[in-house]
Structure 1
Amino acid sequence: MAPPTALDVQTTSDTQIATFSDKFSVNGVAARRSNEPRISGGVAAHASSEMFKGPGYGKPKAKRWDHRLTLESLARKPSSLKGAQKYLSNPEVEGLISLGGGLPSSQYFPFQNIDIKVPVPPHFSEQEVKESGIVKRTGKHDIAEGKSIYDIHVALNYGQSTGSAQILRFVTEHTEIVHNPPYKDWQCSMTVGSTSALDMAYRMFCTRGEYMLTEEYTFSTAAETVRPMGVKCIGVKMDEQGLLPSDLDSILSNWNSAARNGAHKPWLLYTVPSGQNPTGATQSKQRREEIYRMAQKHDIYILEDEPYYFLQMQPYTGPNAPDVPPPSSHSAFIDALVPSLLSMDIDGRVMRMDSFSKVIAPGVRVGWITASEQIIERFVRHSEVSTQNPSGTSQLLMFKLLEETWGHAGYLDWLIYIRLEYTKRRDNICYACEKYLPREVASWNPPMAGMFHWMKIDWQKYPSKEGKSMLEIEDEIFHAAIDKGTLTSKGSWFRAETDNPGNDMFFRTTFAAAPPDQVGQAIERFGSALRAVFRLEEPGNGHVEEARDGHVEEASNGLAKEGADGHVQ
C-alpha cells in the first residue's frame, strides 16, 4: 500500500480545493535570500513572514474572520512598549539612543558562551553524534563581532511575540517549501509549543455556552483546556482514516439550537489529521479534501494540530516482508507526505499548529502557527500579554541546529531519518500484537503516522454474568494489565463527550519511548491480562524470540495473516 502523494488539483470554483505549481524548493533558498534585505537581528527586532516568503503572485487573499472572533480578541490592542521597538530600526534616524523599553543590559547576563554538540547529516544516531558531532558555540556578542546573525546578547533579552527574525525566517521558508499555502496573505508566528497556541486560539474563537467540533476520541488536553471555558465538545464519528466528513455534515445540517439551550451551530473544528492522538488514524488526501469542502459548506474554521505530521511512516508490510525503500530525495519525501489542510486552504480558514516537540525535543517549547495575516495579528495581540515570546535560549539552540548546522536540506534529512526510526518502532509493536494478543477479543490497524497504537477490545465477550458495564470491564482490564506489569491508557479518557461513553472499548499504547524489547514484553503482558479477564486459554507453546535489533520475530505459534491492504485480518 503506497503512501498518498502530494495534492495537485486545478480548479477555479470557491467550493473546491486548489494549489499552485510555483512551489518553493530547498534549492531555491539561497537565491531567495540573496534578494532579501539583510536580516535585522537586534534586540526585540520587528519581524514578519512577509519579509521572508514569496510574493504569492496570482493567489487570492484570505477571507476575513471578524464574525468568528470573540469580543475579547477583537478588543485587544497592540502593545505600546513592543510597538515602540520599530523606531530603533528606522534608517532615517541615526544614532537613536533608547531610554524607552525596560530592556536589561546584556552586560549583566551571566552567560558568556553556550556550547552544544549536534549531529552532522546523515550521521544522526547517538553513537555517531558522540563520535563525529560538531560543537556549535554561541557567544554573547557574536553579531557585533561578525561571527553570526544571532547571539546571547539578543536571544536572552526581551523579544517580539512573532519570535526572533532569525528562527522565524527558517520556519517561514520551511512552511512554504512543504505546504505552499495557496492564498497570498499567510504568515507564521512562533509559539511556546502547540498547547499554548491552542489555549490562545480558544480564547480567540470560543464563547462560553457554545460548542466546538472535534473527533469523537480526541487529544485529552485539547478537551480539558476548553471545557473550563464553558465550551462543550461535539464528537464527530471516526473510522480508520479518522474524522468522517459525512457525520460532520450530518451534525451541522441537523443542528437544533433549541435542543442545545440556544447554542449556535458550531463552526470551530479541532482536528489532528496525521497519527491522531489517541487513535493513530491518518486522514488520507481525499479525506482531507472532503473535510475542507464541508468546512467551506458550513463556514467552519479549522484548527489543524499537526505535531506528528513528519512522523508519517513507511507502509506497513508485516513481519518477514521486505522493507519498502525510503524516499530517494527531499522532493520525494515531501511528495510522499499526505498533503496538509493548510496546503488546500484557499480561504485562509485553517490555523495550522506546528511543533518541534515530537521531531526535536518537547522541552525546547518552540513551535509556530501558520494562518492568515488577520488571524496572526490577533494571535500576536494575545501573545504580547501572556507568553510574550518563546524562550530566547530555546530559539538560539534551534537556530544553531537548524540554520547554522543543518539548513533546510539537513533538516529534511533528519525528518527522513526519524521517519525510518519510527517505522521500526511501529513495526515492532504491530509484530508483538500479532504474536501475543488474543484475536478473539482484540483487533487493530497498523498506524501510518505518529506514536500511538489503538486497540479495539470486544468487551461484549466478557464471560461474567454479573452484568458489568463497559466502563467497569475497561477498568478491570486496565488494572489487570497493571498487575501484569504494563501501563496503558483507557480509551474512555479521550472521549470528546464525557457524558457519552459510546459503544466500543479501546486502549491506547505508545511505541515512542520504551526500548523495542520492552515494548514486546509489555504487549505480551497486556495479552496475558486480556486472557485472564476474558477467561481465554494461554497459547500453548508459543513464544517470542528477540532479534538483535529488538524486533519481534516469528516463533512457533505462527502469525496472523494480512489482507492485500496491509491490515491485519
Structure 2
Amino acid sequence: MSPPSAIDVDVQAVDDTTAITIPNPLTLEDVSKRREATGKLIAGVAAVANVEQFKGGKHHLHKPKARRWDHYLNVEASSRKGNSLKAAAKYLKKPGIISLGGGLPSAEYFPFDELSIKVPQIGHFSEKETRENGAVLTAGKSDLADDKSLFDITTAFNYGQGSGSAQLLRYLIEHTEIVHNPPYQDWYCNMTIGSTSALDVALRMFVQRGDVVLTEDYTFATAVETAAPMGVRMVGVGLDDEGLLPESLDDVLSNWDEAARGARKPFLLYTVPTGQNPTGATQSEQRRREVYKVAQKHDVYILEDEPYYFLQMQPYTGPDSPDVPPPKTHAEFLKSLVPSFLSLDTDGRVMRMDSFSKVVAPGARVGWITASQQIVDRFIKHIDVSTQAPSGISQLVLFKLLDEHWGHAGFLDWLVHIRMEYTQRRDVMLGACEKYLPKEVMSWKPPMAGMFHWLQIEYEKHPDHKNMSIAELEEKIFQTIVDHGALVMKGSWFYADSQAKHDTMFFRSTYAAAPFEKIEEAIKRLGDAVREEFGLKSQ
C-alpha cells in the first residue's frame, strides 16, 4: 500500500516481493524544511562545508554509487595531495579555540565596513523597475557575529576553502538537486571561477600530452585553445540541427586507429548540449540518451558544459504568429527544460559545468561543477593550490541576492524572465533574417536555446568560388560584412580540428550583444553585404 500523500516518500518495486522506500525529489517547498531539520548553518572563516548535510543525507541513500574513474585519472591528478594548511581549518570549529595557525589576515585590517547592492524585487526585473524600486541589500563586517546574517565581510573577504563558502555552496547544492536530482548517491558540487577554468582543471585531471578529446565538429573556440598547450587535440564529431550525432560518435570510437591517428582511443567527450556554441543547436532528451548509451558502450567520460541551459526559449512560431506565453508555475518551467546529462547519469560519468555568466553576470566569475565525490575530491585538490576559491566578494553578493533575497523560487522567476527576454531578442533577429537575408544563398534554423544564430552560406554560388579556397572566400565575405558596419564571427574560428577537411561555410551571429533596437539594422547590413558579394539584386 502506498504511503499517505502528505509523506515525502515513494515506494518502488525492486522485484516481485521486494520494495524500497524512495524520498521524492527536492521541491522548493522542501528546502526550508530541510534547513530547519539540519539546524542553523554556522560557517565562519575558511569553514569546511558539510556537503552530505546540504544534500539531505538519507534522501539519496536509495541510489547507486558512482563508478570509480581511477583508470582515467592521470598522474598529476592522482598525485595531488591538496593544501595541507587548509586541512587545519576543521579545527577552527572547536569552541573557544584561539588560532595561531593559519595565515588569515585579521578582518580589522580589511578597509571595508559595509557593502550595499541594489537588485530587482521578485517579479519586477526590468532595469527601470530596479532603478526606481529595487531592493538595497547590505552586508556588514560582523553580521555573522551579530547574528544578522549567515555570511558577512569578515568571512567572505578572507581566505576560504576550494569548495567555496558553505553558505553559497548549500544554495548551489539545493538548486542542483531541485533541477537535476542526479540519479546516483555520491554526487557533490564544487564552486569554480567559471566553466573555462573548470574545463582547464578537468583536462589537467584526465589527459596526457598527445591525447585526443572528442567534441562537436564546430565547438567553443576557447575549449580548443585551452587544450592545445597541453598537447591535446580536439577531434570533431558530426552534428546536425539537434547537435551531436550519436551514430557519428559511435563510428569515430568504433573505428579508432591508434597508429593512423597518432593517439590512444579517446575517453573524454566535451559537449555543449544546450544552445551549443557556436551552432545554437540543442540536443533533445532522446538525443542525450542516445549519446549517453554510446558513452557507456565505449566507457567515455562526459564533460557537460552548460552555460546556456537556462536560456532555453519559447518555441519559435514565425514572424507573424502570437507570442507563446511563459510557463505559469515553477513546476511547469522546470518540466519544460530538456533533461541534462547529469539528470540521466546513472554511472557518475558526467562532470557538469554550470555558470552564472549568462544568467547573472560574467564578471562575477562564479560557477560550479557537479560530479561524483571521487572526481570532486580530485578537482578540489587542484583548486586548493591554484585558484584557491572564487572571489569572496562575488560569493557574498550572490549569496545576498540568491539566498537571502530571491530564494530558490525568486531565482526561478528570474530565469523565466531571462527566457522571455532572450526569446524576444531571438524572434526579432529571426524576423529580420526573413526580411533582409538572401535566401538564395543563406539558410538557418531557429535556435531553441542559447545566444547564437548559425547562418549557412552556399559559397558555391559565389562568382569567385572556383578561383579561391573556402578560407579565402570566407575572409573576403567577412571583410565585406565588416565594411558594411556589421560584425559576425567566422565559422572557421570554431573548428574543433582546423586540420580536418571542411566543405561548408557558416557565420555565427548573436542576439545577445547588440542593443535591442539595433538588431534589425545589423541584419540588414549583413544582408546587404552578402548580396553585394554574390552579385544579387539589392533590396
Partner residue of 1:289? 289
Partner residue of 1:49? 51
Partner residue of 1:251? 252
Partner residue of 1:112? 113
Distance 1:303 1:457 in 2: 31
Partner residue of 1:395? 395
**Structure 1 stretch displaced more, 30-39 or 232-241:** 30-39
Report how many aligned residue pairs link the two structures: 520
Distance 1:267 1:150 in 2: 41
1:515 positional shift: 1.6
Partner residue of 1:485? 485
Give unmatched runs, 5+ long, in structure 2. Answer: 1-11, 15-21
Instruction: Identify the match of residue 88 of structure 1 among 65, 85, 92.
Output: 92
Superposed, which structure 2 residues align to 1:439-518 within 5 Å? Answer: 439-464=439-464, 467-518=467-518
Distance 2:494 2:53 in 1: 41
- For residue 290 of structure 1, give the secondary structure of its aligned residue in structure 2: helix
1:76 aligns with 2:98: no
1:39 positional shift: 1.4
One-letter amino acid matched to 2:422: Y
C-alpha spacing 1:273/1:165, structure 2 compared with 1 (3 Å) = same
**Structure 1 stretch displaced more, 393-402 or 54-63:** 54-63
Superposed, which structure 2 residues align to 1:327-338 within 5 Å? Answer: 327-338=327-338
Question: Given that residues 48 and 187 in structure 1 are in contact (C-alpha distance below 8 angstroms), is that contact kept between their aligned partners in structure 2?
Answer: no
One-letter amino acid matched to 1:78: G
Partner residue of 1:223? 224
Question: Per-residue displacement from partner, 1:45-100 (whole Å, max 9, x unpaired)?
Answer: 0014212013303100000000010100000003111000101113xxx3111111
Partner residue of 1:203? 204
Question: Given that residues 308 and 450 in structure 1 are in contact (C-alpha distance below 8 angstroms), is that contact kept between their aligned partners in structure 2?
Answer: yes
One-letter amino acid matched to 1:363: G
1:400 positional shift: 0.5
1:519 positional shift: 1.1
**Structure 1 stretch displaced more, 39-48 or 179-188:** 39-48
Distance 2:146 2:361 in 1: 31
Distance 1:85 1:38 in 2: 20
1:61 aligns with 2:65: yes
1:322 positional shift: 1.2
Distance 2:68 2:410 in 1: 37
1:21 positional shift: 7.7
1:126 aligns with 2:130: no
Question: Given that residues 492 and 501 in structure 1 are in contact (C-alpha distance below 8 angstroms), is that contact kept between their aligned partners in structure 2?
Answer: no
1:40 positional shift: 2.7
RMSD, aligned CA: 1.4
Question: Per-residue displacement from partner, 1:331-359 (whole Å, max 9, x unpaired)?
Answer: 10000000000000000000000000000
1:324 positional shift: 1.1
Distance 1:44 1:29 in 2: 25
Partner residue of 1:383? 383
One-letter amino acid matched to 2:178: I
One-letter amino acid matched to 1:225: T
- For residue 35 of structure 1, give the secondary structure of its aligned residue in structure 2: helix
One-letter amino acid matched to 1:483: D
Question: Per-residue displacement from partner, 1:160-199 (whole Å, max 9, x unpaired)?
Answer: 0000000000000000000000000000001111111111
Give unmatched runs, 5+ long, in structure 1. Answer: 1-9, 13-19, 540-569
Question: Given that residues 459 and 465 in structure 2 are in contact (C-alpha distance below 8 angstroms), is that contact kept between their aligned partners in structure 1?
Answer: no
Distance 1:465 1:352 in 2: 42
C-alpha spacing 1:465/1:157, structure 2 compared with 1 (3 Å) = closer
C-alpha spacing 1:269/1:465, structure 2 compared with 1 (3 Å) = closer
Partner residue of 2:41? 39
Question: Given that residues 495 and 501 in structure 1 are in contact (C-alpha distance below 8 angstroms), is that contact kept between their aligned partners in structure 2?
Answer: no
Q: Flag as ranges the 4+ runs of structure 1 deviating above 4 A.
A: none
Question: Given that residues 82 and 382 in structure 2 are in contact (C-alpha distance below 8 angstroms), is that contact kept between their aligned partners in structure 1?
Answer: no
- For residue 38 of structure 2, give the secondary structure of its aligned residue in structure 1: coil
Partner residue of 2:351? 351
Partner residue of 2:9? none
Partner residue of 1:566? none
C-alpha spacing 1:147/1:204, structure 2 compared with 1 (3 Å) = same
C-alpha spacing 1:479/1:443, structure 2 compared with 1 (3 Å) = same
- For residue 52 of structure 1, give the secondary structure of its aligned residue in structure 2: helix
- For residue 382 of structure 1, give the secondary structure of its aligned residue in structure 2: helix
Distance 1:215 1:22 in 2: 36
One-letter amino acid matched to 2:320: N
One-letter amino acid matched to 2:415: L
- For residue 80 of structure 1, give the secondary structure of its aligned residue in structure 2: coil
Partner residue of 2:6? none
- For residue 214 of structure 1, give the secondary structure of its aligned residue in structure 2: strand
Distance 1:490 1:154 in 2: 46
Partner residue of 2:5? none
Distance 2:483 2:50 in 1: 54
C-alpha spacing 1:21/1:433, structure 2 compared with 1 (3 Å) = farther
Partner residue of 2:139? 138
One-letter amino acid matched to 1:332: E
- For residue 136 of structure 1, give the secondary structure of its aligned residue in structure 2: strand
Distance 1:465 1:481 in 2: 17
Distance 2:389 2:243 in 1: 33
- For residue 85 of structure 2, give the secondary structure of its aligned residue in structure 1: helix
**Structure 1 stretch displaced more, 512-521 or 176-185:** 512-521
Partner residue of 1:418? 418
Distance 1:498 1:320 in 2: 40
One-letter amino acid matched to 1:64: R
1:277 positional shift: 0.4
Distance 2:317 2:25 in 1: 32
If the length of structure 1 is used for normalisation, what is the TM-score? 0.90
C-alpha spacing 1:466/1:443, structure 2 compared with 1 (3 Å) = closer
Question: Per-residue displacement from partner, 1:189-238 (whole Å, max 9, x unpaired)?
Answer: 01111111111011001110111100000000001000110011110001
1:319 positional shift: 1.1
Partner residue of 2:19? none
